[in-house]
Amino acid sequence: VAYGWLSFLTDYGNEDGFVASCHGVIAGLAPHARVIDVTHEVPRHDVRRGAIVLAAVVPYLPESVHVAVVDPGVGTDRRGVAVVTGRGVLVGPDNGLLCPAADALGGPTSAFELTDPRYRLPAVSATFHGRDVFAPAAGHVAAGLDPSALGPAVPPDTLVRLPVPVARLVDGPAGSLDAEVVHVDRFGNVELAADGRLLAAAGIVSGSPVLLGTPGGQWDLARVETFGSVPAGEPLLFVDSAGRAALAVNQGSAAAVFALRAGDVVRLTRADR
Note the residues at the interface with a second copy (CB under 8 A).
Answer: 4-5, 7, 9, 12-18, 20-25, 27-28, 31, 34, 36-42, 44-45, 53-54, 56-57, 60-62, 72-76, 125-128, 131-132, 183, 185-187, 225-229, 238, 240-241, 251
Helix (H, G, I), strand (E, B) or coil at 98: coil
What phi, psi does 266 have (nearest 5°)?
-115, 160
- Name the helix (H) or strand (E) containing 29: helix 18-29
Question: DSSP per residue over 140-164, as a string?
Answer: HHHTT--GGGGSSB--GGGS--PPP
Give the shortest CB-113-to-a second copy separation in angstroms.
18
Give the shortest CB-258-to-a second copy separation in angstroms.
18
Nearer to a second copy, 22 or 91 (CB): 22
Nearer to a second copy, 126 or 217 (CB): 126
Nearer to a second copy, 4 or 207 (CB): 4
Give the shortest CB-194-to-a second copy separation in angstroms.
16
Residue of 103, 154, 128, 175 whose CA lies nearest to 18: 128
| Amino acid identity for residue 109 in this structure | T
CA max distance for the chain: 66
Give the shortest CB-44-to-a second copy separation in angstroms.
6
Nearer to a second copy, 169 or 257 (CB): 257
Give the shortest CB-101-to-a second copy separation in angstroms.
11
Cα distance between residue 104 and residue 96, in whole Å: 14
> Which residues partner with 32 through β-bridges?
none
Nearer to a second copy, 5 or 219 (CB): 5
Cα distance between residue 130 and residue 67, in whole Å: 9
Give the shortest CB-102-to-a second copy separation in angstroms.
16
Nearer to a second copy, 113 or 185 (CB): 185
Cα distance between residue 243 and residue 104, in whole Å: 12
CB within 8 A of 27, min separation 6: which ones?
none
Give the shortest CB-214-to-a second copy separation in angstroms.
22
- Name the helix (H) or strand (E) containing 199: helix 196-201
Nearer to a second copy, 13 or 213 (CB): 13
Contact 142, 6 (CB under 8 A): yes
